[in-house]
Structure 1
């Protein structure tokens, strides 16, 4: 079994948690009870990282749904970058109206190319890769290695995170009873997808937002900052591990909502 250098990142702005309350109200007329129109883009498509599936978006999804957004969560096979891009493009095509694409980790690479569609009005990078044309995960990660351990590689070229280090490297701010399951249910990525490059950079002509996870040991936080600055993204730093969307869902949802409301 061979080992391949792993990604790394971090993030630092702590955003207060949001509280939600419900109350019984007196009956109102249909006109008064109608849901107000959401400004900007109502459709949000969430794209997960390598090694995990879409379930990590659960709380972010629920927060945005309760605010009136139409939220879709894709499931990537991680066989080839092209296949993953195609799946996201198909989900975008199903949306009625403007779309905000959100990518976590490797998902940022996917939305960078999949976002080159007229419906997509903004891109949100969550502790994510934001490559330029001709760049990809392997190249960017090697340019600023992360603090985490190496990836495990099988003989047939599938890469995963060693379960023994998954908690410390991927989600150090979550309890082990949560990360043990995440480690056991990993979705390995092929070396072909890991080494692939993008040939379109949608962020060059669309607004982008970047969340830096300051305690990230998968995608180096300094690499995140460098990519976001290069792209002219609006940056928010959150003190969290690479699994920032799981440990700090309210803060992540706030950035996504800002992108959606500002979409034109």
Structure 2
């Protein structure tokens, strides 16, 4: 018996390191804080939720950034601006704001806070005072327009057209789910005019999506040039932050390291 017990103990001891090697490893912890601004607040656009920003979030937090992803309600523009301002208030130190699509209208106003040091527009509207999202979209129509209005003043994208309009560079199993899980927006939010534009006084970066069928690339270029944004053109759909998260994270990181 003692011999068998001794063999068992020896066998368990010899297996220990192997078992440890097979155990899941935690994500690496950054050894130093990033240069510049460490707080990133992301405001998603309409018809998608914040979960699509998961990979961009992970890339940035592994580099030492503190990332907050908002879930805008898109009932009224004013409510979403207030929500963003509250998230800015909660950050410990300076902030870089990131907006996608409709989220660009939100950060344009919410960015008028001393803590906000830069704005990043990702396939996004970039309105000036007195302009609305609807007005800008109508000035240079997108390659396609499959947004449907409901009787109660809400909007959604025709599920059959979602993939072609929003995410032609993603696989069908992903776009099919996005199409049937999309949160609705309101016509009131899209028609609300912007009261002030932070890009007049804050440095801005922009991601221009050249294969975008939901937001005209020509309109993007015009808005970004008007604001003097530093533009990165990416051959991608409207959901560029999902199809090319590394490229989007790189632009956000460039903005964060360029300001204090």
Q: TM-score band (shorter)?
A: 0.7 to 0.9
Between structures 1 and 2, the one with greater helix share: 2
Correspondence for 1:51: 47
Q: Does 1:119 align with 2:115?
A: yes
Paired residue for 1:161, among 151, 157, 161?
Answer: 157
Matches within 5 A, 1:168-187: 168-187=164-183
List gaps (5 residues or longer) in structure 1.
1-23, 25-32
Offset at 1:184? 0.8
Larger RCO (alpha carbons 8 Å, 6+ apart): 1
Paired residue for 1:197, among 175, 193, 198?
Answer: 193
8 Å Cα contact 1:149-1:165 kept in structure 2: no
Matches within 5 A, 1:38-77: 38-77=34-73
Q: Per the alignment, in what secondary structure is the counterpart of residue 156 of structure 2?
A: strand
- Which string of whole-angstrom CA distances, capped at 9 and with x for unpartnered residues, describes residues 43-71 of structure 1? 00011001111011110000001000000
- Which string of whole-angstrom CA distances, capped at 9 and with x for unpartnered residues, describes residues 176-198 of structure 1? 10011111111111110011111
8 Å Cα contact 1:210-1:233 kept in structure 2: yes
Q: Per the alignment, in what secondary structure is the counterpart of residue 255 of structure 1?
A: helix
Q: Per the alignment, in what secondary structure is the counterpart of residue 56 of structure 1?
A: helix
Partners of 2:30 and 2:144 lie apart in 1 by 49
Paired residue for 1:207, among 190, 203, 208?
Answer: 203
Correspondence for 1:94: 90
Q: Per the alignment, in what secondary structure is the counterpart of residue 259 of structure 1?
A: helix
Offset at 1:157? 0.7
Correspondence for 2:3: none
Q: Per the alignment, in what secondary structure is the counterpart of residue 161 of structure 2?
A: helix
Correspondence for 1:129: 125
Q: Does 1:140 align with 2:136?
A: yes
Paired residue for 1:216, among 207, 212, 215?
Answer: 212
Q: Give the CA RMSD over aligned residues.
A: 1.2
List gaps (5 residues or longer) in structure 2.
1-20, 22-28
Work out the number of aligned pairs and report it. 233
Offset at 1:35? 2.4
Partners of 1:115 and 1:190 lie apart in 2 by 22
Q: Per the alignment, in what secondary structure is the counterpart of residue 85 of structure 2?
A: helix
Q: TM-score, normalised by structure 1?
A: 0.86
Paired residue for 1:256, among 247, 252, 256?
Answer: 252
Query: For the pair shown, which has the larger CA radius of gyration, 1 or 2?
Result: 2
- Which string of whole-angstrom CA distances, capped at 9 and with x for unpartnered residues, describes residues 3-35 of structure 1? xxxxxxxxxxxxxxxxxxxxx9xxxxxxxx982
